[in-house]
A and B are shown apart, each in its own frame.
Chain A
Amino acid sequence: MSFFEARKAAANVAMMIVTGAAALLTVGVLLFILGYLVWHGAHSLNWGFFTELPAPVGETGGGMANAIVGSGKALAFATLVGMPVGFLGGVYLSEYASSGAAFVLRYVTDLLNGVPSIVIGIVAYALVVKRMGHFSTMAGGIALGVMMIPIAVRSTEEYLHSVPRMLREGGLALGRPKWRVIATIVIPAALSGIISGVMLDLARVAGETAPLLFTALNNQYWSNGWSQPTATLPVMIFTYAISPYPDWHRQAWAAGFVLLMVVLVVNVVARLVLARKRHVVVG
């Protein structure tokens, strides 16, 4: 082997080692993070966490029952706000828009996607909280819903787009109106993708804290209805984590665990939904 060839071979080996090490480090760090969150969080859980309301400041005990429900309510409202608009927008982009209109809508959707979450919070405060005259679950839900829209649009469009033209043309050839073809043929064909997109979208906004700071505020009690301030898991984690009370720290970890589990489970299920459908369509 000439010197040149030896150098090539050495570089080859070096590359394998370096990139392999990098991948190992990346995966290692990320595994550590997941593992630590899971271990420490699970350790910090107790039954009271799920059933009790927060205790007064400085006292130990209490839980985040209201925050769990509050998060659920805010996300439900967000889905109600964000999903229809995002889904229908995606349908428009994929099935109806002219190329000029599509370009504009995609551009604007990208713009919306790029708005930092804290800025969404500011605008939701100015437009919803101030107008309504109080902080509320609804305001939080609107902020989160707006954040859901761009991803819903993009993923709906992507999955509708991937439905083969043949299916559409077949339906139209049978004399069906366009909307029927879309509703009964195209959308169902893309359904698993759309559903998985919704789930991923939801999992993403479930952990958002910044938009909730100025909209849902927080609440020691159960929040009734939609127009009262409410406790939510991310805000509680933030508040408790930066406090000096060890019991609050424990509860922050517990809440982190719950939030993480929800997000991870939804993510995994979403991907499974997608994977399963892929196998079916290929045939």
Chain B
Amino acid sequence: MKKMVFPFAFASVLWSATVCAQTLVTGAGATFPYPIYSKWFNTYHKLHPQVQLNYQSIGSGGGIKQATEGTVDFGASDGPMNEKQLAEFAQKRGGQALHFPTVLGADVPTYNIPGIKAALNFTPAALAGIFLGHITKWDDPEIAKHNPGVALPKKDIVVVHRSDGSGTTYVWVDYLSKVSPEWKSKVGVGTSVNWPVGLGGKGNEGVAGLIRQTAYSIGYVELIYAVQNKLSYGKVRNQAGKFIAADLASVTAAAAGAAKSMPDDFRVSITNAPSAAAYPISSFTWLLIPSKIADAKKRQILVDFLKWMLHDGQKLTEALSYAPLPAVVVAKEEKAIGLITP
């Protein structure tokens, strides 16, 4: 018995040393980039076992709120913080909420129409009309006109939207506000809006789930959720008049124009981009990192992770249907990392 004590003690000290040497950094926010963040944090943890980046997808609204309250170490959102939220952050946490773009993604109109697997064409008017509750049947002329040859059923459209505060919502309504004056005045832009019609699902996951089990439904999710769940998604007509499907090329095209004139705080909207090849409902998504981080270990971890993300991390995006950041933006972000101080 006595002989066992020393090795046991040594082992437990070693164990507790390794375990205690792990640092947990918690973040929460957007469900839009959750698949790629989940992949990144998992991969990074394998590379650096001492680092645990725990990310919870509670919605962009939650990411903004909890980052502001300081209950998480970083947030994530696809709707950039507005002036009021930035001011609240500065007042509660001191320093600024730095926005670091991570990937480019797209909101796609995804639907479940039994018998129709094809990608439908949607005009801005069709989308606005559906979500405002004006267009209620699938065989409405505004949809049928642009989908010749598709036998659209005479069924009611079931609209699905987010029930939680969401950047995915932000991107969607930001686009609708740009293409529909009625939407802009009646509903407006935000992470949580007063939806005229529809069922609410929690997170991109919840919306995809609802669409999957509800026939004749339509909703909006980030591209990867439609792909991973084999949901049909449609093409949207962009400003140049072409019906474009969301993919790496079209999303990158949407960001091309904005990349050159990227503001210093990276808060920019790229919906309804003018380029002919652009997918009109694209968006950057941001990590919200406080500019003042007191804990030295956590600060170093976040700085190191950002650097990894901007290079090695970008290589993993395409497999999950997210477009990598333009080089110009990457360079700008590397400089911005210097703004993170104690």
When the two chains form the complex, which single residue of A57, A130, A221, A223 contacts B38, counting CB atoms closer than 8 Å?
Answer: A57
Asked if residues B212 and A244 are in contact (CB atoms below 8 Å), the reply is yes
A58 at the interface (CB under 8 A from B): yes
Q: In the docked arrangement, what's the CA distance between A130 and B34, Å?
A: 25
Docked pose: A230 CA to B26 CA in angstroms: 11
Q: Is B209 an interface residue (CB 8 A)?
A: yes
Nearest chain B residue, comparing its CB with the CB of A219: B54
A224 within 8 A of B: yes
State A244–B229 Cα separation when bound (angstroms): 7
Per a CB cutoff under 8 Å, which of B20, B24, B205 touches A244? Answer: B205
Instruction: Decide yes or no whether A229 CB sits under 8 A from chain B.
Output: yes
Cβ of B55 under 8 Å from chain A: yes
For A220, list chain B residues within 8 Å (CB): 38, 41-42, 52, 54-55
**The one of B19, B22, B26 that contacts A134, using a Cβ cutoff of 8 Å:** B26
- Among B67-75, B113-121, B260-268, the stretch that binds chain A is B67-75
Report the minimum CB–CB distance from A167 to chain B (whole Å).
Answer: 45
Whether A229 contacts B54 in the complex (CB less than 8 A), given A56-B39, A134-B71, A243-B205, comes out as yes
Distance in angstroms from B209 CB to nearest chain A CB is 4
Determine if A75 is an interface residue (Cβ-Cβ < 8 Å): no
Chain A residue at minimum C-beta to C-beta distance from B201: A242
Which residues 232-259 in A have Cβ within 8 Å of B in the complex?
Answer: 242-245
Q: Known contacts A224-B19, A224-B20: does B71 contact A242 (CB below 8 Å)?
A: no
Shortest CB-to-CB span from B248 to chain A, Å, is 17
Supposing A218-B56, A244-B205 touch, asked if A224 and B229 sit within 8 A by C-beta, the answer is no
Shortest Cβ distance from A241 into B: residue: B209
Interface bits A194-229 vs B (CB < 8 Å: 1, else 0): 000000000000000000000001111101100011
**Chain A residues, CB < 8 A from B70:** 133
Among residues of B, the one whose C-beta sits closest to the C-beta of A229 is B26
CA of A167 to CA of B20 in the docked complex: distance in angstroms?
52
- Chain A 120-135: CB-based contact to B (< 8 A → 1; otherwise 0): 0000000001100111
Please tell me which one of the listed residues B202, B225, B320 contacts residue A242 in the complex, with CB atoms under 8 A apart: B202
- When distances are taken between beta carbons in the complex, the residues of chain A under 8 Å from B35 are 56-58
CB proximity of A145 to chain B, nearest CB, Å:
20
Q: How many residues of B contact A (CB 8 A)?
A: 34
Majority secondary structure, B binding face: helix
Give the chain A neighbours of B19 by CB distance below 8 A: 224
In chain A, positions 35-65 with a C-beta closer than 8 Å to chain B are 55-58
Distance from B306 Cβ to chain A, minimum over Cβ atoms (Å): 20
The interface centre, meaning the residue of B35, B52, B70 with most chain A CB atoms within 10 A of its CB, is B52
Contact A135/B26 with A57-B34, A217-B56, A243-B209 known, Cβ cut-off 8 Å: yes
Tell me which residues across on chain B come within 8 A of A229, comparing CB atoms: 24, 26, 54, 56
Bound together, the chains give a CA A134 to CA B69 distance in angstroms of 9
Identify the closest chain A residue to B224 (Cβ): A58
Contacting B at CB under 8 A, from A163-220, are 217-220
Q: How far is the CA of A224 from the CA of B28 in the complex (A)?
A: 19
Task: Determine how close the nearest CB of chain B comes to the CB of A53; give it in whole angstroms.
Answer: 9
Asked whether B105 is an interface residue with its Cβ less than 8 Å from the other chain, the reply is no
If A56-B42, A242-B206, A245-B228 touch, does A130 touch B26 (CB 8 Å cutoff)?
A: no
* A13 vs B20: C-alpha distance when bound (angstroms): 71
B39 and A221 form a contact (CB under 8 A): no
Contact B42 A242 (CB under 8 A): no
- Cα distance A57–B45 in the bound complex, in angstroms: 15
For A58, A134, A223, A245, which residue has the most chain B Cβ atoms within 10 angstroms?
A: A58
Residues of B within 8 A of A130 (CB): 69, 71
Residues of A bordering B, CB below 8 Å: 55-58, 129-130, 133-135, 217-221, 223-224, 228-229, 242-245
Q: Besides A229-B54, A242-B205, 20 other CB < 8 A contacts?
A: A55-B42, A56-B42, A57-B38, A57-B39, A58-B224, A58-B228, A58-B320, A133-B71, A134-B71, A219-B26, A219-B54, A219-B56, A220-B38, A220-B54, A223-B24, A224-B20, A242-B209, A243-B203, A244-B212, A245-B228
Query: What are 10 pairs between A and B in contact, CB < 8 Å?
Result: A56-B35, A134-B26, A217-B26, A217-B56, A218-B56, A219-B54, A242-B201, A242-B202, A244-B212, A245-B229
